[in-house]
Structure 1
């Protein structure tokens, strides 16, 4: 099942295209200045399908031409990815007839080291195909704990927090991120605050972020943060986590253009079963209507 954290780590690029430029600049890899950016359909299934879905695919148009970046969130080494990534790259290259870059996002150095090694298909001494990804993670994304630097690029600061989520330095990053967001417009800041919550996953860093949102007052604080502060400890850790995941689900539905009536919104936000919310989230990734998400549950209730 696709997790909320997995989804957040690549959607942060889709929702904030400027992050591509910032990350490639940090890695000292030339990246053309885009004049146009578009989200590309991630469904790479063919007529006789083995279903293949990349995480995020973005089309960049610059003076040099078009360029596609495939972003993949990777939580652990997985040798099956060699064939999957080769398929994504070749399919997109043929479909759009332009250069393709594979970007892999990791939150630990072991996975990043594995992902950075060339993946080959063919004879050991004469590979027919080699896949080489641009890998980002705690090994090459800087720790941003200076407020001036954070204010200059709040999205990169958020990504610094996500990639260093399991590092002892994450507290300092989150503190400057919280303060830096207070210098930007409240809508964008609230959105980034929610992305941070989801992207940190089930880590101590997430609890640190939740404490910052619940105990301090910022202009941008989003609904989930205000609720946590208002209800305090009475909410309980499990309830607060469920509300955070419900907020992420509503955010995903909004990005997918799925209209959520008040009754359904109440159903989502009042749910305290995090496993059920994650099930809904997994369905919502490719859903085009609410029935794609809740239809199975409703049918089971009717039969029961």
Structure 2
């Protein structure tokens, strides 16, 4: 099952498909064909192959034509790889062949790896057996993702800024990168900014997030804008609320009490710590889960 971090990275390319072309051209120095638009296509690659194949994401670059529909000029398979998986050395070539056949244009493989060792594994050439046919995956590992510590740069490219946080969270620059992102999203549309803030919070393991948060609060210089500091505190409060809600469900489950969907939703959505604490105590004695809502 894909991890939250895996899904967060995939989501970046759905938010802005241009990110795939940007990484290829600027980080991996791949010469791209001239194109006018970048768009996400279905990752289902089963149309022309019998096996079930599904890429994490597919981005197609197209060029405008005056007398016809836009023409695909390059199809990009985007794969997020967090650990070595020998099966991918068999499926990745199939992804490219299937996509090339479907789109009737050249195809290319871009692998995103947050881990240095996994990036090294992913770069290993894949021999296809036929003389001269060797696939060398194009891999964007931590050393290929730019370190973005300028809030203005992060605001110009928030998707790349999120990827920068994920790739460099454990480095000495980690707090500066996170601060740049959290400051930048304050300048975006509120809904869009909240999506990116939530995305990076979900993508980072708790211990790494707590480490960055502690560094931000103890460094002598001011790392966080007021908005960013408030949102870090909000993220911590939300995490604590989730933990209390799990305790409530655990007590009810141990007592054999069913939790209706509306009651579960009310508990999950509650952010009042005093009410959550009251529900934990009451969960030990209530006759039904629904009685909690009357407390």
TM-score w.r.t. length of structure 2: 0.68
- Equivalent positions of 1:122-137 (< 5 A) are 122=129, 127=131, 129-137=133-141
| Alpha-carbon distance between aligned partners in 2 of 1:59 and 1:241, rounded to the nearest angstrom | 42
SS of the aligned residue for 1:43 comes to coil
CA 1:102–1:49: 2 relative to 1, 3 Å: same
CA 1:165–1:44: 2 relative to 1, 3 Å: same
CA RMSD of aligned residues (A): 3.7
Unaligned 5+ segments in structure 2 are 65-70, 217-223, 248-260, 271-295
- Equivalent positions of 1:164-243 (< 5 A) are 164-200=168-204, 202=205, 204-207=207-210, 217-218=226-227, 228=235, 231=237, 235=241, 238=243
CA 1:130–1:170: 2 relative to 1, 3 Å: same
Shift of 1:146: 2.6
Unaligned 5+ segments in structure 1 are 243-261, 272-304
CA 1:121–1:21: 2 relative to 1, 3 Å: closer
| Alpha-carbon distance between aligned partners in 1 of 2:266 and 2:91, rounded to the nearest angstrom | 37
CA contact (8 A) 1:145 1:172 kept: yes
Aligned match of 2:57: 56
Aligned match of 1:118: 125
Greater RCO (CA < 8 Å, at least 6 residues apart): 1
CA 1:241–1:101: 2 relative to 1, 3 Å: farther
Aligned match of 1:42: 43
| Alpha-carbon distance between aligned partners in 1 of 2:11 and 2:141, rounded to the nearest angstrom | 16
Shift of 1:25: 1.9
CA 1:96–1:21: 2 relative to 1, 3 Å: closer
Shift of 1:269: 3.9
| Alpha-carbon distance between aligned partners in 2 of 1:67 and 1:21, rounded to the nearest angstrom | 10
SS of the aligned residue for 2:61 comes to strand
Aligned match of 1:78: 85
CA 1:263–1:113: 2 relative to 1, 3 Å: same
Matched, 1:266 2:273: no
CA 1:228–1:117: 2 relative to 1, 3 Å: closer
Q: How many residues align?
A: 243
Deviations 1:247-299 (A, max 9, x none): xxxxxxxxxxxxxxx9599379459xxxxxxxxxxxxxxxxxxxxxxxxxxxx
SS of the aligned residue for 1:54 comes to coil
SS of the aligned residue for 1:76 comes to coil
CA contact (8 A) 1:82 1:131 kept: no
SS of the aligned residue for 1:218 comes to helix
CA 1:49–1:266: 2 relative to 1, 3 Å: farther
